[in-house]
Amino acid sequence: MDLRASPSAPPGFPRLLALLLLATLAVACEPEPGPLPVVGTLERDRLELVAEARERIVEVLVTEGDEVAAGDVLMRLDQSLVGAELAQAQAAWERAEQRLAELVRGPREQQIETARAELEARSDTLREQRREYARVEALVQRGAMAQAELDRIEGAVGVAEANVEAAEARLADLLEGTTREQLAQARAGVAEAEAAVGRVRLLADRLVIRAPRAGVIDALPYELGERPPAGATVIVLLAGEAPYARVYVPEPVRAGVAPGLLAEVRIDGVAEPFAGTVRWVASEASFTPYYALTQRDRSRLSYVAEVTLTEPRAADLPTGVPVEVDFPALRPASGAQQ
């Protein structure tokens, strides 16, 4: 049908129809937006340093924003109570060592001589009590003394015999010397006391909070003089190494993203992209975050991934800024979509 000849066609209608056809062809030929680049934020490792005991903060050596090196002292908690416990533990350790040394040396000659003299004295006492018993027994038999006195002397003889047996046992023990069991117990006591000292020293050292890595102080939740509970975070430290991009990889490209994959990281305000490498990808999907939602991807799942920025110039980038990450190896080939 010739539209130009149709009496019902309004003026200019053929030109409008041609424009509509051209627009339709242009839309049909335009490639559908792909899942790249992925989006996220720039992050650093966040370290939370905690209080090992409920003690008062006596010194704060840093402020928020300070750069610190690994091993720097950041804060000190009160060590008064721990210092007393350490002195007590050290005294117990010294006592255990002295006892072990005494057992290793064995009994002194003076102790042995003293035990022999004690045995001799108690033996003399026993002999004296037995002679007295024989004398009283003869008097009782003649009726010159009451039976009660004989009973009293008999009891004294029994006590003297028991004392002699105890002295003999003590002398035998000294002559035999220290047993292996006694030495083993003494050594175990020394080890136990040493471990107690080590535990208290470790607790005292942990009351001095040091930076485990180089970084920047991000937060100081407690002030000087406060007493945070045990286990409370007292310092938040951001690692000072180059940051990494924490992004959300859409499901359509998840199969191609693996650790070691090269990436390009773009940041607003920086002209050139930063080179990066995927270091980790989550194995379980999560819902697309709020800043990655689009009309097309609202119902899709995404996978958390971390991309390390490998260029030295990335070390000074701020934490928390939005980023876009592209994976050159996953870009569609030129002319693949028409």
Whether the predicted pLDDT of 28 surpasses 90: no
- Residues 175, 123 within the same domain: yes
Handedness of CA 52, 55, 60, 65 (dihedral sign): positive
Return the minimum-mean-pLDDT range out of 151-165, 185-199, 283-297, 312-326.
283-297
> Quick check: is 16 in a domain?
no
> Quick check: is 294 in a domain?
yes
Calculate the average pLDDT of the chain: 82
Rounded CA separation 236/211 (Å): 10
Whether the predicted pLDDT of 288 surpasses 60: no
> Quick check: is 177 in a domain?
yes
- Residues 51, 104 within the same domain: no
Mean pLDDT of 150-160: 85
- What are the strands of the beta sheet with 73-77, ordered from one edge? 57-60, 73-77, 208-210
- Residues 324, 177 within the same domain: no
> Quick check: is 213 in a domain?
yes
Domain of 233: which CATH number?
Answer: 2.40.50.100
- Residues 95, 108 within the same domain: yes
Query: Which residue range is the domain that position 227 belongs to?
Result: 46-79+207-239
Mean pLDDT of 256-272: 92
Q: Which of 218, 239, 260 is the last residue of a domain?
A: 239
> Quick check: is 258 in a domain?
yes
Mean pLDDT of 62-72: 92
Please give the pLDDT value at position 265. 94
Whether the predicted pLDDT of 144 surpasses 60: yes
> Quick check: is 73 in a domain?
yes
Whether the predicted pLDDT of 292 surpasses 60: no
Mean pLDDT of 282-305: 68
Model confidence band, residue 296 (pLDDT cutoffs 50, 70, 90):
low
What angle in degrees, to the nearest 10, is found between the helix axes of 109-141 and 147-176? 160
Closest among 247, 223, 230 to 304, alpha carbons compared: 247
Whether the predicted pLDDT of 46 surpasses 60: yes
- Residues 143, 159 within the same domain: yes
Q: pLDDT tens digits for 69-122?
A: 999 999 999 999 999 999 999 999 999 999 888 777 766 667 777 887 888 888
Residue 248 bridge partners (DSSP): 39, 304
- Residues 211, 187 within the same domain: no
Of the chain, the percentage scoring pLDDT greater than 70 comes to 80
Whether the predicted pLDDT of 15 surpasses 70: no
Please give the pLDDT value at position 274. 95
Strands 73-77 and 208-210, by their bridges, are antiparallel
Please give the pLDDT value at position 243. 86
- Residues 225, 288 within the same domain: no
- Residues 197, 211 within the same domain: no
> Quick check: is 228 in a domain?
yes
> Quick check: is 222 in a domain?
yes
- Tokens 């003293």, residue? 114
- What are the strands of the beta sheet with 67-68, ordered from one edge? 46-50, 233-239, 215-219, 67-68
Give how many domains the chain has, as a whole number.
3
- Residues 96, 177 within the same domain: yes
Model confidence band, residue 26 (pLDDT cutoffs 50, 70, 90):
very low
Residue 153 bridge partners (DSSP): none
- Residues 89, 171 within the same domain: yes
Model confidence band, residue 155 (pLDDT cutoffs 50, 70, 90):
confident
- Residues 126, 192 within the same domain: yes
- Residues 214, 190 within the same domain: no
Domain of 268: which CATH number?
Answer: 2.40.30.170
